[in-house]
Structures are given as C-alpha cells and as structure tokens.
Structure 1
Amino acid sequence: MTRVLTEDMGMIVGLIAKFNSEDLHLRLTALDQATFSQVTKRDTISTAVPERQFLKELGRLCDKDTNGMLMFGTSANLTGQGQQFRVEDIETSVRESVDLIVDYGLQRWHTYGRGDVNFDVENMEVMRMGAGYEIFWDRMLRWFPHLLYEAGVELDDDAEYGVLQC
C-alpha cells in the first residue's frame, strides 16, 4: 500500500506505526529525551514517506551511514504558528537550527494550506485530513477497500474540500 501510494501514485503521506520500545533502532536511541518525545507518541512514530526522488535518495544515503543521524523535517514551523510553504516564510530561529534546507519552491500541495495526510496503518485510521486528502480517499477506496473493510473503517468526508461519498 505504501509503495503504491507514494511511488506509483506520487503522493506524500505520513504513516503512523508502532515501534518496539524494548528494542529501539540505534538512531532512535541516539536521540535526547526532548527530541524523542517530539517525534513519538506513546509507542508510535510517524514517518512522512517522500514522493520526490531527491528526498528518497537523501534518506537512502542517511540509512547507509551507520553513524549518521535521522532525518527530521517537513513541517518547519514553530508550534501553533501554522504550516510554512516557502523557505523565506520559515521563522529565522527554525532555519538556523537545521543542518540542511532543501528549497523546492512551492509544490502542488501548497494550495491546501495544510500538512500532509497522516494515516495510522495499524488501525487503518486517518489521524489528520491533510493536503490531498480527497486523492488519498479516492485511492484508498479504489485500490485498498479490502483493507478498510477488514479493519471495519470508513473514511470520512473532508468538509473543507468536499470529497463526495459515492
């Protein structure tokens, strides 16, 4: 499902899944407690699976370096300040705290004015109706209805962007 949505269909989606707190990945054990608590919630972590080849390759290179760091990002905003869509709109303190900024300019999802869809893969539940939700909704119903059915889940309508229930 993840590969089909992100690679074959060119979507970005945040996937929420459980991690093993008894046997953490080495990169997670290297995080200080403050960072760890910001990127996890109870026993879950969300990973934005990138749609663009550059970010996929950057992730692959980070994985290849066993001493390397985890790559965090995407939102680039201060809590409560909203999503930023241009590098020049990101608060100076945020820009100065990162190691790398990739400036693609505006992307197709900026028109929504919100982050990406966050989807809990274990419970087949949308945790955040984000940018492109109507596309996610259509693709899940078209290509993966059996997964939703097995989980006893129905995807909700997005009142803001008017996904039509069919």
Structure 2
Amino acid sequence: MSRYDIPGDAQRIYDTVTAGGAVIMPSDIGYGAIASSSEALLRLFRAKRRAPHKRHAMAGNYDLHREIHELGRREQDMVDAVVLDAGLPLAVVGPYEATHPVVAAVEPETLAASTVDDTLAMLINGGALQDAVVRLAHANGTPLLGSSANLTGAGTKFRVQDIEEPIVDAVDLVVDHGLRKYHLYRRSSTMIDFATMEVVRIGACYELIADIFANQFGIDLPADPGWDALPSGHLRDHMSRH
C-alpha cells in the first residue's frame, strides 16, 4: 500500500485516451468518464443512455481555460475569485476560441455535441490527477471530453464500486482513487454560464461560490432548494452535461 501514483496514472489515462479509448477518471467532484475520439465518446453516450440534448464538457485547468474561453474582464475576475483566490472547483461555460489547437482537434460531430449557443463548458480545479492529465493533453493538443460516470439521471458517483455496470463495461481503463473529496455535496460541480450570467447547475461548494459572488461582486445567485428538491442541481436542463 502506498500513495496514489498521480503522474503514472495521468500517463496511463492519457495513453488510453490518445489510443482511442475511454477512461473512468477520479476528480474532486466525483468520477467522470472521458475520451477524445468520437467513437469512444459515442460509446459513453450510449452507455449513459443520454438524451440527445445532453452535452459533453471539457476537462480543463486554469491555463487551458484562459487560452480557450473568451470572457469579459469582470467575468474573468469572478472566475479568478472562485478558482484562484478560493481554490474551489467550477465548471465554466463561456464563449470559446474555435481556432485554439485543442478545440480545433475536436472532431466536428463531437464539437457539435459539446457546445451550446457558441459556448463550451470546462471544469477547472478538478483535482491533482485531472490537472496532471490535462497538462499532458494540453501540451500535445489533445482534447479531453466527457461527463460524469453514471447513468443519466442516476446521480454523480463518488466511489468506483457505485458506478453502474454499463458505464464500467463501456470504458477501457478504470482509475480508482477511493472516495472523492466533495462527496458530501452529493452533486457534481457547480456550473455557471458566464455568457448569460446564469447558474446552469447547483453543485459542489455552491454556498461558498454564492458567497463570493454576493460579497465581492454584488450578485445574488439563486437559492439552493436543497438536494431533496433538486438532486441533480440542474436549473437549465437544456444545458445539462450531467
């Protein structure tokens, strides 16, 4: 028994994805299923039993976000207050630079299934392993796309043993790093559309993020009705990437 091999696991994940495979990967906000090729993403889509309007999100880090997303100064300050100053996870939805090498490497049909109204979703601060994988992918111009590793509507999974069999069967590699950091929230990441300043999904650390918006920017985000009333956290279902 020893520490998780984050660099080694990151390389295994990257090698599997670049070979056309799909991976169940841990992040701080739960287990995700990621891939790069259209074939592998379609395999995940079918395994999850996703509705046609569901979208993939991009696994990212702060550097990739700054290169790809095109936000106004105030909107960028909001992101920075959450992910840099407070160190919280956040799924950022915003306009994107279509000519960026990582975006340009996404196959057209996959890009169409990953964008809504000229915006792209990207998870930032997903944890040490996600950051390590994204650094490898970013350096080589490889996009990483996917969604949470669960059947649609079944809720985010925070332990590998809770992931449904069809999802496990659809991937080529499962990386198990035990119980995930933000499991007490019982939801995926908080997602905010910075093009419209709307909350797409209430998720992990939402009360902290809402406090930052209120105290630092004078913006009151919608109240969380609670897990029992809204277990998915989705406020805008057509943007759902859960």
Whether TM-score is above 0.5 comes out as yes
1:74 Cα deviation from its structure 2 partner: 5.2
RCO (CA 8 Å, sep 6+): is it higher in 1 or 2? 2
Q: Could you tell me how far apart the structure 2 residues matched to 1:98 and 1:155 are?
A: 37
1:43 Cα deviation from its structure 2 partner: 1.0
- The reply to whether residue 59 of structure 1 matches residue 134 of structure 2 is yes
Matched position secondary structure for 1:15: strand
**Alignment equivalent of 1:132, drawn from 194, 202, 205:** 205
Map 1:147-158 → 2, pairs under 5 A: 148=219, 154-158=220-224
Deviations 1:42-80 (A, max 9, x none): 3111101025233223212211113xx212245112323
- The reply to whether residue 8 of structure 1 matches residue 81 of structure 2 is no
Identity of aligned residues (%): 32
One-letter code aligned to 1:38: A
1:143 Cα deviation from its structure 2 partner: 2.4
Q: Could you tell me how far apart the structure 2 residues matched to 1:3 and 1:97 are?
A: 36
CA RMSD of aligned residues (A): 2.5
Larger fraction in strand: 2
Whether contact under 8 Å (2:82, 2:88) holds in the other structure is yes
One-letter code aligned to 1:72: L
| Residues 108 and 78 of structure 1: CA distance in aligned 2, closer, same or farther (over 3 Å) | same
Map 1:7-26 → 2, pairs under 5 A: 7-20=84-97, 23-26=98-101
Q: Could you tell me how far apart the structure 1 residues matched to 2:129 and 2:196 are?
A: 30
Q: Could you tell me how far apart the structure 2 residues matched to 1:84 and 1:11 are?
A: 19
| Alignment match, 1:151 | none
1:96 Cα deviation from its structure 2 partner: 4.4
| Residues 101 and 2 of structure 1: CA distance in aligned 2, closer, same or farther (over 3 Å) | farther
One-letter code aligned to 2:139: K
Unaligned runs of at least 5 residues, structure 2: 1-77, 228-242
| Alignment match, 2:193 | 120
Deviations 1:80-126 (A, max 9, x none): 33221112222334334446544332234212221111111122221
Q: Could you tell me how far apart the structure 1 residues matched to 2:151 and 2:102 are?
A: 24
- The reply to whether residue 142 of structure 1 matches residue 215 of structure 2 is yes
**Alignment equivalent of 1:46, drawn from 101, 118, 121:** 121
**Alignment equivalent of 2:106, drawn from 4, 7, 31:** 31
Q: Could you tell me how far apart the structure 2 residues matched to 1:131 and 1:39 are?
A: 22
One-letter code aligned to 1:129: I
After TM superposition, the runs of 4+ consecutive aligned structure 1 residues lying more than 6 A away are: none
One-letter code aligned to 1:115: S
One-letter code aligned to 2:79: T
One-letter code aligned to 1:116: S
Whether contact under 8 Å (1:119, 1:127) holds in the other structure is yes
Unaligned runs of at least 5 residues, structure 1: 149-153, 162-166
| Residues 29 and 95 of structure 1: CA distance in aligned 2, closer, same or farther (over 3 Å) | farther
Whether contact under 8 Å (1:14, 1:116) holds in the other structure is yes
Q: Could you tell me how far apart the structure 1 residues matched to 2:85 and 2:126 are?
A: 9
